[in-house]
Amino acid sequence: MSLYSAKIRLASILAGLGIAAIFTLIVLAIARYFYGTSLSLGFISIILIFVLILDIVQYLIGPYLIGRAFRTREVTGADPQYQWLLDTVQEVCTANNQEMPKVFIAGVPFPNAFAYGSILAGRRLAVTAGLIQILDRDEVKAVIAHEVGHLRHHDVALLMAIGIIPTIIFYLGYSLIFSGGGGRNQNSGYSMLIAIALIAVSFVFNIMILGVNRLRESYADLNSVTVQNGPEKLQTALAKIVSYTPPGVKARRSQSNSSFTNMLMITDPVNGERKDYRTLLNEWKVAKVSILSSIFSNHPHPARRIQALEKIKQRSQ
């Protein structure tokens, strides 16, 4: 593991732990203010168990909901049309010392790919019908290397563990608005202020989770080095995906209306650019991108990804 990849992995893990810790402190502070609850080990355990149950439920049923939303169907050895895809996934998994996941074709027209799964559903890797139509097989292999990187890093579980936190904080604030606070502190003015603050904090947490996902995607990009000419082929694949993803398509938005599923994708499925992919690639290689330009994005700016892959490509030559 290179120093750069180690830094990205450590940053994503620490960020995830930090988000979980801050969330726990917020819930404890609210309970103490409104109900005077002491910070006993038992009470802390109840809160952690509650959040854990929500995470587990999302983790277990999430793959089935995703599969239904994207109309996925499993590819098997009995399907000669996609035998090459199974062989490609197997080759990449062997190079990464990973077990073969279940492979799916998502019956949607826009190009993309994603890795997901759970203990019940098993590890899964899906590519869309639109992706197969626009990429050559070497580019598909580089995309698969990226997705296998997610499975190798176990970062989907990290995303699921923290992804529900902003929603919980938002509904805590929402419920306080209509409950008047309750408990021993009946000052409705303070309750309203705390409720508004919680809703604002939920948006801050969402920004933090977007940052974790950008780290997650950057780390998976590095895994393209495990296949021949992977960084260069992934550059081209990313440019083609963005170029062939029409911006503002209503049907695609309805299929990708979950911010969580959008974060699973190799690129944001609702952000496309109507330019030739070669033009995009050349522009991104020299673009200067501000850190703040992607603060509200669930994926790194394409220029940052292309430039990072360019450095990896040059080091491997």
Residue 219's closest CA among 8, 10, 14? 8
Pairing between strand 122-128 and 113-118? antiparallel
Exactly one of 147, 217, 273, 310 is catalytic; name it: 147
160, β-bridge pairs: none
| Active-site annotation holds for 147 | yes
Beta-ladder partners of 106 = 72, 128
| Beta strands 122-128; 102-106: pairing state | parallel
Single-letter code of the amino acid located at 275: K
Question: 48 in helix, strand or coil?
Answer: helix
Residues 6 or more apart whose Cβ sits within 8 Å of residue 169: 23, 26, 198, 199, 201, 202, 205
The Cα–Cα gap between 227 and 245 comes to 25
Helix (H, G, I), strand (E, B) or coil at 265: strand
Residue at token pair 């292999």: 141
- Which is it for strands 113-118 and 102-106: parallel, antiparallel or unpaired? unpaired
Query: Measured between alpha carbons, how far is 2 from 312 in angstroms, rounded to an integer?
Result: 10
How many whole angstroms from its chain centre is CA 154? 12
E strand segments, the chain: 72-74, 102-106, 113-118, 122-128
For the record, the structure tokens of 307 come out as: 């430039």
Quick one: tokens of 84? 């090459």
Residues identified as active-site: 147
